[in-house]
Amino acid sequence: MASVGLAPGLSRKLKKVLESRTDSPDLLASLNTLSSFYTENTQQSRRNLRSTIEKKFLSINHEFLLSSDAAQQALDRVEDEVNALTECCDHFPWQGIWSDLGLLLCLRLAFEKMGLLIFSSDLDQPWIAKALNSCSASTGDIISTTERLKQELEITTQRQEIVSYFLRDYQLSNEEINALREEDLDENFFKALSHVQEIHANCKILLRTHHQVMYDSFSCIRWVQAECRRLGDTDNPEVSDLLKTAVRCLKERPVLFKYCAEEVANMRHNALFRRFISALTRGGPGGLPRPIEVHAHDPLRYVGDMLGWLHQALASERELVLVLLDPDAVVETGPTARRFSKNTESDSTHTESDVIFVLDRIFEGVCRPFKVRVEQVLQSQPSLITSYKLNITLEFYSYTISDLLGRETALCNTLWLLKDAAQQTFFDILKTRGDKLLRYPPLVAVDLSPPPAVQEGVSVLLDIIETYDSMMVPVSGKKPIFDPVISAFLDPIVQMCEQAAEAHKSKGVIHSSRRSRMSSDSGQISRDSSSSVDALLGNNTSISSSQNSETPSKIFLINCLSAIQQPLLRHDVASEYVRNLGAMIDNHIRALAEKEVDAILRRCGLLNKMSHIHNSVKEEEGGAIIGPPLAEIEDMSPASLSESLKAFFGLVLGSGGSLPEFEQMQVPQLRSEACIRVARSLAEAYELIYKAIMDPKNCYPEPKSLARHPPDQIRTILGI
């Protein structure tokens, strides 16, 4: 069943009853009074409770009126007599003389009548009442002011006596001062000197009594300093409740509290220095854990153990200092434990500054031995990967300890300096490695494969990338930018490959020039017996040989860049450098395809003819004066063009040679792309020649017999 809600009025009354307090004195007194006349608890009595209370109220008022009737009658009589005194005073001839008498009589009458003691008097003259009223009105303020001034005079007199006594006991008079300053000694001098001794004695008494708090504070600070010295003798001290109470009392006096903080810093400074040297050289109790310097041969573990020890010591020292300097603070265990529960914001900030000051002083002593050891590790020329791991380890602890200790402290400054030194060491090793590669570039292999230095460098870089991906990132920090590392690592390798390719190209040009001189003589002998196409190809051998010498260098560069790019494709951190490598590879493939196309066209005798065709097209498009038809130009004659096209068809159809397939290019996708680029460029060149032949303006006779294959067939033959 649905519950039925109460009426709003009834709900408010019920809420008011439930919220009322039953233990208040007023409510208890009311209930006690109600119980005196509410005798039986029946339904009729409850219904008539309001009327019963009202009747009781009326009866009480009625009794009050009856009781005050006698007082009212007495007051009426007083009023009548005062009126009579007033009339009498108005007719009395000596009002000034009898004014005081009238005042006394009026006061006496008022007190007696108000006390319900009716005093009978024959003085019923009206002038008395008038005099009493006038006197009361004029002297009332004077009397009250007089009483107040009298009390202030008494207080001032007492103070004056106290000051005079104090000056007598604690200050010399002018006569005594003059007596002490005079050169001649007399009786007054010794009296003044005796008074000075008395003043000194009084001051000692005053310090022992009224200023005992100051002595107590000095006693407290001496005790706290002694306890802090005791804490400095142990590695893991425990702070007693009594020491917490003493520090809490000293916080009321900032100067003394500062002395306490400095004493804590000095004691723990020495204790931490001893502990750090002991951890380095002797290890823990019984030799466990082993001394840190046992692992000095392993740079990464050696530095990591020292950093771990410092981080752990910082956490324990911070907890100890917080308990000492702020006993009411709640120590958090997080990396940014800087919130306090019972302090205001200003107190928390002040306490935190004190904590950082003390911790900075405590860890100041371990900075130098730690720095010296890390610098020794960096000067020992660690391996490339080890130096990078040292760099990221120092960076992680620099951020972590800065969160706990603050950035502008001695230990944090030392850590950041060592981090920068480790980073510089890493890049110096990279620079030395790159300079060595550039100083002695490798020879290009016969199969144009990348040199071993490329594969070795990429392998080391992959290890560094794996280290970078698995590095720890602090809460307040972020991963460093990795692009400078990749650039410093791979740029020398790319430059080495370019130098090797350039040296190989120069070597190929020398060899090709020698071959061209040797083949020129043989070409002269066999020119008469060769066919026209063979003669055309033979005449261009010396021209294309230097062009083809660049092809192996380009293929070598493409192989090297691909060997660098392919392993980095699956790593997002190297995406930007991978895109740059892709652009370089694409540029080299484009240049390789253009040079191969130029070489083919030159072998076929079409390269110089392409220049005439391009000029004709430009003149036609530019609206310039059109020269003679192409058929009338000597290089573009039908016979010359027919011989060149026969050579071109022989290369395309495979009867007079073959197109380059770039077999030494190691990536199949790039090899296919280079072949497609060459075929597409050849098809575009043939299409331009075909259009020029078929154009009636060029006056070629029987153009279809001259260009037997349309461009579509050439594209089909080339496979594009």
The DSSP code sequence of 152-189 is HHHHHHHHHHHHHHHHHHH---HHHHHHHH-SS--HHH
Q: What is the DSSP letter of 285?
A: G
Q: Band of the pLDDT at 346, cuts 50, 70, 90?
A: low
The residue among 288 and 3 whose pLDDT is bigger is 288
Residues 317-340, mean pLDDT to the nearest whole number = 64
The residue among 572 and 2 whose pLDDT is bigger is 572
The residue among 405 and 232 whose pLDDT is bigger is 405
pLDDT on residue 501:
92
pLDDT on residue 436:
93
Domain check: are 181 and 223 in the same one? no
- Burial of residue 95 (CB within 10 Å: 0-12, 13-18, 19+) is middle
| Residue 208 in this model has a pLDDT that exceeds 50 | yes
Q: Which of 71-85, 171-185, 211-225, 286-300 has maximum average pLDDT?
A: 286-300
| Residue 645 in this model has a pLDDT that exceeds 50 | yes
Other residues' Cβ atoms within 10 Å of the Cβ of residue 700: 22
Other residues' Cβ atoms within 10 Å of the Cβ of residue 202: 13
The residue among 97 and 325 whose pLDDT is bigger is 325
| Residue 381 in this model has a pLDDT that exceeds 80 | yes
Residues 391-398, mean pLDDT to the nearest whole number = 94
Domain check: are 161 and 182 in the same one? no
pLDDT on residue 497:
94
Overall domain count for the chain: 4
DSSP-H helix ranges across 549-628: 550-568, 575-604, 607-622
Q: Band of the pLDDT at 101, cuts 50, 70, 90?
A: very low
pLDDT on residue 299:
95
> What is the domain extent for residue 260?
214-420
The torsion of the CA quartet 99, 105, 107, 109, rounded to 10 degrees, works out to -150
- 534, two tokens: 């063979």
Which among 85, 63, 179 is positioned nearest to 135, based on CA atoms? Answer: 85
Q: Band of the pLDDT at 545, cuts 50, 70, 90?
A: very low
Domain check: are 496 and 585 in the same one? yes
Domain check: are 77 and 159 in the same one? yes
Residues 648-669, mean pLDDT to the nearest whole number = 81
372 found inside a domain: yes
644 found inside a domain: yes
Domain check: are 201 and 119 in the same one? no
Average pLDDT value over all residues in the chain: 80
526 found inside a domain: no
| Residue 216 in this model has a pLDDT that exceeds 80 | no
pLDDT on residue 536:
39
CA distance 482 to 465: 9
pLDDT on residue 543:
37
| Residue 690 in this model has a pLDDT that exceeds 80 | yes
563 found inside a domain: yes
Q: Band of the pLDDT at 342, cuts 50, 70, 90?
A: very low
Domain check: are 113 and 202 in the same one? no
Domain check: are 221 and 279 in the same one? yes
Range scoring the smallest mean pLDDT among 489-493, 532-536, 607-611: 532-536
Q: What is the DSSP string of 402-462?
A: HHHH-SSSHHHHHHHHHHHHHHHHHHHHHHHHHHHHHHSPPPPPTT-PPPHHHHHHHHHHH
CA distance 681 to 593: 8
56 found inside a domain: no
The residue among 175 and 393 whose pLDDT is bigger is 393
Show which of 365, 385, 420 is a domain's final residue: 420
286 found inside a domain: yes
Domain check: are 387 and 492 in the same one? no
25 found inside a domain: no
| Residue 596 in this model has a pLDDT that exceeds 80 | yes
Range scoring the smallest mean pLDDT among 122-136, 234-248, 318-332, 343-357: 122-136
Domain check: are 675 and 555 in the same one? yes
| Residue 78 in this model has a pLDDT that exceeds 60 | yes
Q: Which of 362-366, 543-547, 599-603 has maximum average pLDDT?
A: 362-366
pLDDT on residue 133:
72
Q: What whole-number percentage of the chain has pLDDT above 70?
A: 80
Report which residue type is found at 697: K
Q: Band of the pLDDT at 620, cuts 50, 70, 90?
A: confident
Domain check: are 160 and 77 in the same one? yes
| Residue 427 in this model has a pLDDT that exceeds 90 | yes
pTM value > 0.75: no
CA distance 453 to 704: 56
Q: Which of 5-19, 348-362, 418-432, 621-635 has maximum average pLDDT?
A: 418-432
Q: Band of the pLDDT at 225, cuts 50, 70, 90?
A: confident
500 found inside a domain: yes
The residue among 112 and 390 whose pLDDT is bigger is 390
Domain check: are 600 and 508 in the same one? yes
Domain check: are 374 and 275 in the same one? yes
Q: Band of the pLDDT at 93, cuts 50, 70, 90?
A: very low
Q: At what angle do helices 187-209 and 212-232 cross, to 10 degrees?
A: 60
Q: Band of the pLDDT at 155, cuts 50, 70, 90?
A: very high
